Amino acid sequence: MISPELTLRPATPDDVSVLFHLIQALAEYEKLTHAVTGSAEALEEHLFSAQPYVEAIIAEVQGKAAGFALFFHNYSTFLTQPGIYLEDLFVLPEYRRKGIGKALIKYLAQLAVERGCGRLEWSVLDWNEPAIAFYNRMGASILPDWRICRVSGDAIASIANTEVLEF
């Protein structure tokens, strides 16, 4: 059962340093600290500029940050509806198994309904069995036939500068 001391709320500019700290804790949990190359300043720009790219929800227990969900809108051409893509969901270890992760997903599901979204999607690392079991219990489908494709860094520039051959 979720405690009445739990608060879920949209992040504000005052939350950026705490949110960035939670992102670093997530990277540590996933053994990906080397992949955190961004900054709190960039995060603030992407959350709160005139054209924000992402949104974040902060989970607090008795006023202390316990976790977060960071998400953005995507679009389904088959449904011709917007969706919400959950980029990251993380709860600090000392706050796990208290319903916070479930509350964050419920919050996003409610937001998806309010915004007329056809999907709420996210990815999970294949080794993260506790998360996979949690998502299955929540009713999520783990799609076996889909793989994430990613182009980053120099590869983006390489593709952008590649001459397109006509046929």
Catalytically active residues are 135
Residue with tokens 């059962």: 1
d(CA 103, CA 106): 5
Q: Which of 122, 26, 106, 111 is nearest to 65 (CA)?
A: 26
Maximum CA extent, the chain: 63
* Cα–Cα distance for residue pair 85/69, rounded to 1 Å: 10
87 touches 70 (CB < 8 A): yes
How far is Cα 143 from Cα 145, in angstroms, rounded to an integer?
6
